[in-house]
With several copies, the nearest count.
Chain A
Amino acid sequence: MTDLEVTGLGCRRGGRPVFRDLSFSLAKGELLALTGRNGSGKTTLLRALALLVPADAGAIHWQGADVAADREAWRRRIAWLGHLDGLKGDLTVRENVATACHLREEGTERVDAALAAFELGPLASRSVRTLSAGQRRRAALARVVAAGARLWLLDEPLNALDAPSQAALRAALGQHLATGGLAIAATHAPIDVPNARTLLMDSSPPPGGEEHEP
């Protein structure tokens, strides 16, 4: 049974069409890996799925209902990891993750497990400003895990992670899928989890095909 159904989606950035007529569907326990050249529209697609960028055309359905009809319910279903980590440098790791849960109006009971999943226990009370790039990325991932959402939208989650942390991410993803979750991840490296499908975003119009800016 497919939970997520995307039909005929099209988006433009700065007046340029980025992709057109994109359709796919995703069922419980499945991961969709978005790949493709730089500039092919992976980030744009993720933002469009989160309704952050308005789509030009097409529709997104969740269990048969258009997600734009009840935006707040939809937002409750998704957890977001962007190019930027979305962490506050002046707060500690734990505070960051806990605040994110509060902002979703949820409890903080999953926070400790999420921190542990990314070996953040010893760093939990360090302020994020003093972390290295990969440590921050792990904190951002812990935030996604702690959110307890059905659908994870991840933009290059492997960026800056060392090998053990990549394995931790894979384990977390595997568990999320095993418990009936869904995930869509833009990535340039293969994510080896079971039930992974790949969507190759091909850039027509090619990403470098444009000429002069006005």
Chain B
Amino acid sequence: MSGFTALLARDLRLVWRRPGDVMVVLAFFVVATVLFPLGIGPETNLLARIAAGILWCAALFAALLSLDRLFAADYEDGALDLLLLAPWPLELAALAKCLAHWIVTGLPLAVLAPFMGLLFGLSGEGLAALGLTLLVGTPALSLIGGLAAALTLGARRGGALLALLALPLCVPTLIFGAGAVEAVATGGGFLTHLAILGALALLSLATLPWAIAAALRQAGE
């Protein structure tokens, strides 16, 4: 078994031991989307108008809330040292951990979101756009969040401030994700948006594993 597979399998198994954990993230997503109508008021037209933004925001929050322990657990129990000492590239380890996170959060969120869209009265096409953009956009969120999680490990005072830099990195993904759904609502096509989202995800994939690995090495010192 390659180390990459082993790590992926381990993380998925850890989640499998407590299947409730995935449910919790999804439940959080549902609760969060419900909170916005409670804050804004129950007018159906208004809600349909802002549904895309709300659902994408809630997905971001759900991803972020489940990300903060991504590396911290390994850091605190010493398992991070074992990853740093594994005889294969740390970049792959970073990728495996982000992939495991995406499988247990991004993927289910993309499946669930269209159902929540129903509550907000989105059209059928809008629902499809929502699911697709989330499917394409969430890998970038997992990677960016993974970077923030790695940067905030341990002692460095600057860590928190660096995370502050990572947050705005999510903004483009959100804008194009929410924008795609709205484009559908206003009669436009969403393929351009989807392509841009895909490009963002690929860009993250091509750069962030290195950044995450560097941050993890810092934390190991």
Residues in B with CB closer than 8 Å to A75 are: 85-87
CA–CA, A100 and B217, complex, Å = 19
What string of 1s and 0s marks CB contacts (under 8 Å) between A129-160 and chain B? 11000000000000000000000000000000
The reply to whether A103 and B7 contact each other, CB–CB distance below 8 Å, is yes
Given that A82-B78, A87-B79, A105-B3 are known contacts, is A52 also in contact with B85, CB under 8 Å in the complex? yes
Choose from B2, B17, B81 the contact partner of A91 (Cβ within 8 Å): B17
The reply to whether B77 and A86 contact each other, CB–CB distance below 8 Å, is yes
The reply to whether B14 and A88 contact each other, CB–CB distance below 8 Å, is yes
Choose from A54, A88, A99, A104 the contact partner of B87 (Cβ within 8 Å): A104
Residues in A with CB closer than 8 Å to B78 are: 82-87
**Interface presence of B220 (CB below 8 A):** yes
**Interface presence of B206 (CB below 8 A):** no
Choose from A54, A86, A89 the contact partner of B81 (Cβ within 8 Å): A86
Which A residues between 33 and 81 are near B, CB-CB below 8 angstroms? 47, 50, 52-54, 72-73, 75-76, 78, 80
**Interface presence of A90 (CB below 8 A):** yes
Choose from B10, B77, B85 the contact partner of A78 (Cβ within 8 Å): B85
The reply to whether A102 and B3 contact each other, CB–CB distance below 8 Å, is yes
Residues in A with CB closer than 8 Å to B77 are: 84-89
**Interface presence of B43 (CB below 8 A):** no
Choose from A54, A86, A95, A104 the contact partner of B79 (Cβ within 8 Å): A86
Which A residues between 165 and 179 are near B, CB-CB below 8 angstroms? none
The reply to whether B221 and A53 contact each other, CB–CB distance below 8 Å, is yes
**Interface presence of B70 (CB below 8 A):** no
Residues in A with CB closer than 8 Å to B79 are: 86-88
Residues in B with CB closer than 8 Å to A54 are: 221
CA–CA, A84 and B74, complex, Å = 11
Q: In the complex, what's the smallest C-beta–C-beta distance from B6 to chain A, in angstroms?
A: 3
**Interface presence of B38 (CB below 8 A):** no
Q: In the complex, what's the smallest C-beta–C-beta distance from B91 to chain A, in angstroms?
A: 12
Q: In the complex, what's the smallest C-beta–C-beta distance from A67 to chain B, in angstroms?
A: 12
Which B residues between 75 and 119 are near A, CB-CB below 8 angstroms? 76-79, 81-89
Given that A53-B221, A54-B221, A103-B6 are known contacts, is A90 also in contact with B17, CB under 8 Å in the complex? yes
CA–CA, A84 and B77, complex, Å = 6
CA–CA, A147 and B81, complex, Å = 15
CA–CA, A136 and B192, complex, Å = 54
CA–CA, A77 and B155, complex, Å = 29
Q: Give the nearest-CB partner of A72 in chain B.
A: B87
Q: Give the nearest-CB partner of A128 in chain B.
A: B77
The reply to whether A90 and B81 contact each other, CB–CB distance below 8 Å, is no
The reply to whether B13 and A52 contact each other, CB–CB distance below 8 Å, is no
The reply to whether B220 and A52 contact each other, CB–CB distance below 8 Å, is yes
Given that A52-B220, A75-B86, A89-B155 are known contacts, is A102 also in contact with B1, CB under 8 Å in the complex? yes
CA–CA, A105 and B6, complex, Å = 8
Residues in B with CB closer than 8 Å to A83 are: 78
Which B residues between 172 and 221 are near A, CB-CB below 8 angstroms? 220-221
CA–CA, A130 and B156, complex, Å = 11
Residues in A with CB closer than 8 Å to B10 are: 88, 91, 99, 102-103
What string of 1s and 0s marks CB contacts (under 8 Å) between B1-38 and chain A? 11101110110011001100000000000000000000
Could you say which of B6, B7, B83, B84 has the most chain A C-beta atoms within 10 Å of its C-beta?
A: B6
CA–CA, A129 and B153, complex, Å = 13
The reply to whether B13 and A91 contact each other, CB–CB distance below 8 Å, is yes
CA–CA, A72 and B18, complex, Å = 33
Can you sample 25 A-B contacts with CB below 8 Å? A54-B221, A72-B87, A72-B88, A75-B85, A75-B86, A84-B81, A86-B78, A86-B81, A86-B82, A89-B77, A89-B155, A90-B17, A90-B156, A91-B10, A91-B17, A99-B9, A102-B6, A103-B7, A103-B10, A103-B86, A105-B2, A105-B86, A105-B87, A105-B88, A130-B155
Residues of B at the A interface (CB closer than 8 Å) are: 1-3, 5-7, 9-10, 13-14, 17-18, 76-79, 81-89, 155-156, 220-221
4 further contact pairs, Cβ within 8 A, besides A86-B81, A91-B13: A80-B85, A84-B78, A102-B6, A103-B7
